[in-house]
Amino acid sequence: MKLISSGRTNVGMKRPHNEDSLRICREYDLFIVADGMGGHASGEVASQMAVETVSEFFRSTAEDEETTWPFKMEHDRDYEENRVVVGIKLANRRIFESAGRDAKLKGMGTTIVTLYCHQSKCFIAHVGDSRIYRYRDSALEQMTTDHSLLNDYIKMRQMTPEEIESFPHKNVIVRALGMKDSVQVDVRQEDLQQGDVFLLCSDGLSGMVNDARMAEILAAEPDLEQACEKLIDEANANGGNDNVTVVLVRVEEA
């Protein structure tokens, strides 16, 4: 199988600068989106640090599989799954330590979603409320679970669609890189199928465009670059309240 990919980021309609970052590492079949937070542009610093750290960790471990890792492998995960998790944990530690050394960066943090494809499988890892979706057989499925206050409430009790829509703290996240010196990374492993399209995005997209509309755009636009642009245009047309970042990855026959 081979992968076709495209990515775009946009400041949106309301924010003065863009604190999202993305990284497409085609040589490793690694795709990352991060949504930074913090004043004085420190969110941009955190998101850039996240994507750079994870991609650099993949580069160093690809060049030397015997290199010493900064964290121990978890024995219940295979090598490639550990590789994703350790890269994200390393990013968390660097962001946390940088914020502790520089008063201008105090309180900075970032979400992260990572798609890593290896042979016939993919590893989906995330921290925060940025998302990965899979479009397969004309259906869009959310593959990540938001680490948000809203989602915690939903887990505790049944909420109606109206209660979810009017929830006053939708944007409060309960897990992010840089919040603590250690972080729990959620990761899942999935088989790849020819024709799968993976959508990685910040909440500037998922908070402004519903899943049904995203699926319509993906169904109507096979060109990934154009699909990225149309998804971003849709978010901005709906208000563009946040930075918008989109990465699309399609699985094709080799």
Q: How far apart are CA 58 and CA 206, in angstroms?
A: 28
Q: List the domain boundaries for the chain.
A: 2-252
CA distances from 31 to 3, 51, 110, 122 (A): 11, 9, 16, 11
Look at the block and give the residue holding tokens 């399609």.
250
Q: What is the pTM of this model?
A: 0.93
pLDDT tens profile 175-188 = 999 999 999 999 99
Query: How does DSSP classify residue 177?
Result: B
Tokens of 228: 């990225």
The pLDDT value given to residue 11: 98
The pLDDT value given to residue 169: 61
The pLDDT value given to residue 166: 64
Question: What is the dotted CATH code of the domain comprising 2-252?
Answer: 3.60.40.10
Q: How far apart are CA 146 and CA 129, in angstroms?
A: 4
Q: How far apart are CA 70 and CA 72, in angstroms?
A: 7
Mean pLDDT by runs of 10 across the 254 residues of the chain is 96 96 98 90 94 97 86 90 97 96 93 97 97 98 87 66 64 89 97 98 96 98 98 98 97 92
Q: Torsion angle, CA of 219/220/226/231, rounded to 10 degrees?
A: -70
Cβ-in-10-Å burial (0-12, 13-18, 19+) of 171 comes to middle
Q: Annotate 65-88 with DSSP letters as a single string.
A: TTSPPSSPPPTTS-HHHHHHHHHH
Tokens of 80: 């490639």
